[in-house]
C-alpha cells in the first residue's frame, strides 16, 4: 500500500472514531435530556421535577422531559441511570432514599456512590415529631417524661425498614433513652389513620401532610427537625431551639448524572437547574409542598452526600442495620 493510500486510510479511521465518540462529550441539542424520577408519577417530586424540566428547557434551549421509572424503593430507576451513557442526556432525580440510604443499607446493590457524578442540589424538607392529641403530650419534654413512665414501648409509624422515618426512629429512641417499636405502613395515609385513632404514639411525617390534622385538633406537632423555624409553619418550634440538636434531620432531592459525565456538561445542566429551582414559581410550589429551596452546584451536593454518610451512616453502623 502506498503512503498516500495509507495516510488516507488512517484519516478515515480517526474520523470515524471521533464521529462516534463526539456525542459523549457534548450536549446533543437535538436530543432531549431525560430526568428519571425513580418513583411512580403523581407525587410531589414528580410535579416538582416537571416544573423544573420546563424551566431547564428554556434555559438550555432544548427539550427536557421527565420519565417515571418506579419500583423497588427507587432502585429500578436509579440503576437505569447508573448504566446510562455519561453524555448528559440521562439524569436522575435522586435523594436521601434512592441514593444515600439505599447505598448504605443494601450491600447487594448494582450501584454505589461512585456510580454517579453530582450535578445539582435542589431542595430539602423537614420531618416532624408528632403525637395524637389523645396522648396528652404537648411538648418534647412532656414526651420524654411520658416515654420514661410508660409501661410499654412507644409505637412510631414508618414507611418501611431503612426509610428516613425508620432511621429517625432509631435516633429519637436513643435520645429519649426509652424503648420504642417501629410499625411499617404502605403509605402515610394509613399511618395517620392509626395515629389519630390512638393505635400509634408517634409520626415523623412531613409538616405539610399533618398541618390540617393539627388545625382540626387530632394531632399535635411538637417540633420540626430543623435548626430554624420554617416560615410556612412559624408557630412550630424546632428540635434545636428546644434543646435537642442531635435530632436535626431532613430529606433532600438532587440531580445526579452517570459517572464520567464531562464537568463542562454538568456545569451547564447545573446552572439551568439551579436557575429553574430559584424561580418564584418553583419556590411557591416548594412552599405548597412543605419543602425549601436549597439549590447549588455539584460541590453543594457532594457536601450533602458526605453529611449523609456521617449522619445516617452512623445510625446504620451503630445499629448494624442491613437490608438484603
Give a yes or no: residue 287 inside a domain: yes
Strands 33-37 and 64-68, bridge-based pairing:
parallel
In a domain, 110, yes or no: yes
CB 207 within 8 A of CB 221: yes
Report the alpha-carbon distance of residue 313 to residue 319 in Å, rounded. Answer: 10
Q: Which domain holds residue 45?
A: 8-125+251-318
Same-domain status, 38 and 174: no
Per-residue pLDDT of the chain (324 residues; tens, 9 = 90+): 544 444 444 444 444 443 344 344 445 557 899 999 999 888 888 999 999 999 999 999 999 999 999 999 899 999 999 999 999 999 999 999 999 999 999 999 999 999 999 999 999 999 999 999 999 999 999 999 999 999 899 999 999 999 999 999 999 999 989 899 999 998 889 999 999 999 999 999 999 999 999 999 999 999 999 999 998 899 999 999 999 999 999 999 999 999 999 999 999 999 999 999 999 999 999 999 889 999 999 999 999 999 999 999 999 999 999 998
Orientation of helix 263-277 relative to helix 298-318, angle to 10°: 90
Cα separation, 81 vs 254, in Å, equals 14
Q: Kindly state the DSSP code that residue 202 receives in the 8-state scheme.
A: B
Q: In CATH, what number is assigned to the domain containing residue 121?
A: 3.40.190.150
- Look at strands 128-132 and 154-158 and give their pairing: unpaired
* Nine cell digits for residue 239: 428540635
Looking at the structure of the chain, the number of domains it has is: 2
> Model-level pTM?
0.86
Residues contacting residue 153 through CB under 8 Å, at least 6 positions apart: 178, 179, 180, 181
Looking at the fold, whether 142 and 235 belong to one and the same domain comes out as: yes
* Residues 115, 255 within the same domain: yes
Please check whether residues 256 and 188 belong to one and the same domain: no
Residues 81 and 154 in one domain: no
Question: Are 208 and 153 found together in one domain?
Answer: yes
| CA-closest candidate to residue 94, choices 235, 254, 218, 309 | 254
Q: What is the largest CA-CA distance in the chain?
A: 95
What gap in Å lies between CA 77 and CA 71, rounded to an integer? 7
| Residues 237, 145 within the same domain | yes
| 128-132/64-68 β-pairing | unpaired
Is residue 26 one of the residues assigned to a domain?
yes
**193 and 207 co-located in one domain:** yes
Q: Copy the grid coordinates of residue 131.
A: 403525637
Distance in angstroms (rounded) separating the CA atoms of residues 58 and 50: 13
Whether 140 is covered by a domain: the verdict is yes
Amino acid at each position: 500500500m502506498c503512503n498516500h493510500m495509507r495516510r488516507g486510510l488512517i484519516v478515515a479511521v480517526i474520523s470515524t472514531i471521533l464521529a462516534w465518540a463526539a456525542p459523549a462529550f457534548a450536549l446533543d441539542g437535538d436530543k432531549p435530556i431525560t430526568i428519571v424520577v425513580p418513583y411512580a408519577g403523581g407525587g410531589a417530586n414528580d410535579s416538582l421535577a416537571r416544573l423544573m424540566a420546563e424551566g431547564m428547557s428554556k434555559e438550555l434551549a432544548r427539550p427536557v422531559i421527565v420519565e417515571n421509572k418506579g419500583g423497588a424503593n427507587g432502585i429500578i430507576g436509579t440503576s437505569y441511570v447508573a448504566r446510562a451513557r455519561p453524555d448528559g442526556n440521562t439524569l436522575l432525580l435522586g435523594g436521601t432514599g434512592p441514593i444515600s440510604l439505599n447505598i448504605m443499607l443494601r450491600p447487594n446493590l448494582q450501584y454505589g456512590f461512585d456510580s454517579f457524578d453530582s450535578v445539582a442540589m435542589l431542595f430539602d424538607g423537614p420531618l416532624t415529631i408528632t403525637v395524637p392529641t389523645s396522648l396528652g403530650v404537648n411538648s418534647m419534654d412532656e414526651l420524654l417524661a411520658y416515654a420514661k413512665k410508660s409501661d410499654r414501648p412507644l409505637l412510631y409509624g414508618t414507611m418501611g425498614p431503612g426509610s428516613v422515618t425508620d432511621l429517625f426512629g432509631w435516633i429519637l429512641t436513643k435520645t429519649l433513652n426509652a424503648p420504642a417499636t417501629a410499625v411499617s405502613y404502605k403509605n402515610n395515609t394509613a399511618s395517620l389513620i392509626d395515629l389519630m385513632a390512638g393505635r400509634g404514639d408517634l409520626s415523623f411525617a412531613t409538616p405539610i401532610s399533618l398541618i390540617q390534622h393539627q388545625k382540626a385538633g387530632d394531632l399535635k406537632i411538637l417540633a420540626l427537625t430543623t435548626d430554624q423555624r420554617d416560615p410556612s409553619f412559624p408557630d412550630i418550634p424546632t428540635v434545636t431551639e428546644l434543646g435537642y440538636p442531635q435530632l436535626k434531620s431532613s430529606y433532600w432531592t438532587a440531580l445526579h448524572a452517570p459517572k464520567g459525565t464531562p464537568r463542562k456538561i454538568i456545569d451547564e445542566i447545573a446552572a439551568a437547574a439551579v436557575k429553574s429551582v430559584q424561580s418564584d414559581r418553583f419556590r411557591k410550589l416548594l412552599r405548597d409542598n412543605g419543602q425549601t429551596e436549597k439549590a447549588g452546584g455539584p460541590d453543594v451536593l457532594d457536601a450533602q452526600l458526605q453529611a449523609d454518610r456521617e449522619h445516617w451512616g452512623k445510625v446504620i453502623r451503630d445499629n448494624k442495620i442491613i437490608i438484603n
